[in-house]
Structure 1
């Protein structure tokens, strides 16, 4: 396991926090969404907002996982599945250092 794992997790947490801040900042131009008989600007804005909400949910989930991994690292349980307690394979942690569950329980 890499000795700098807390630094990797901290950097990931910072990036996710910055992405969330960018995603949730108020739009420069506030308008209303209107839906008429034709597909138009309102529909595009609605789709963009739905996409942003989905992205935000994904980022929040990842941020929660990163924070749980950092907590587990501080408490000495990093690298163990939080469900079954078995070791998470090194290959999985190499690809996804914030993994808190083995593949079977993810």
Structure 2
């Protein structure tokens, strides 16, 4: 990221937090706008063609808000690992996480190899269903 040296986890986490808070603030504004737009309506989501759109938008915004809140929780966890001296160590195999991975994804809990194993296992589990 511009403006910070590579390998500065505290700065990367601050940048990630600022971005998540900015996105969350924007989403909150959208939620407020949606509520205001539908406040005076007597929309029946089941029978009104526009009501289905409002319900869909509300659902989408809710999912995006939950995603940003989850990202903030991941940032909190990464900051706790940094404070405890465990930041940058894979939670699965115990090996160091590559600096390049942490530069791109400062909240990473696993190395690339372990993340790949977990991803392949999740895909295989979905395919077995």
Superposition TM-score tier, normalisation by shorter sequence: 0.7 to 0.9
Which structure 1 residue ranges, 5 or more long, are not aligned? none
Match of 2:8 in 1: 4
Give the TM-score taking structure 1 as reference length: 0.78
- Which segment drifts farther, 93-102 or 81-90? 81-90
Alpha-carbon separation, structure 1, partners of 2:67 and 2:16? 14
1:3 to partner: Cα distance = 4.1
- Count of residue pairs the alignment pairs up: 105
Q: 1:7 to 1:90 in 2, by over 3 A?
A: closer
Q: Residue 110 of structure 2 corresponds to which residue in structure 1?
A: 101
Contact 1:20 1:59 in 2 (8 A): yes
Instruction: Give how far 1:73 is off.
Output: 1.5
Distance of aligned partners of 1:36 and 1:54 in 2 relative to their CA distance in 1, 3 Å threshold:
closer
| Structure 1 residue aligned with 2:19 | 15
**TM-score, reference length from structure 2:** 0.66
**Aligned runs of 1:23-102 on 2, under 5 Å?**
23-25=27-29, 26-27=32-33, 28-31=36-39, 32=41, 33-37=43-47, 40-102=49-111
Deviation at 1:105, TM superposition (A): 4.9
C-alpha RMSD of matched pairs (Å): 2.4
Tell me which structure has the larger Cα radius of gyration. 2
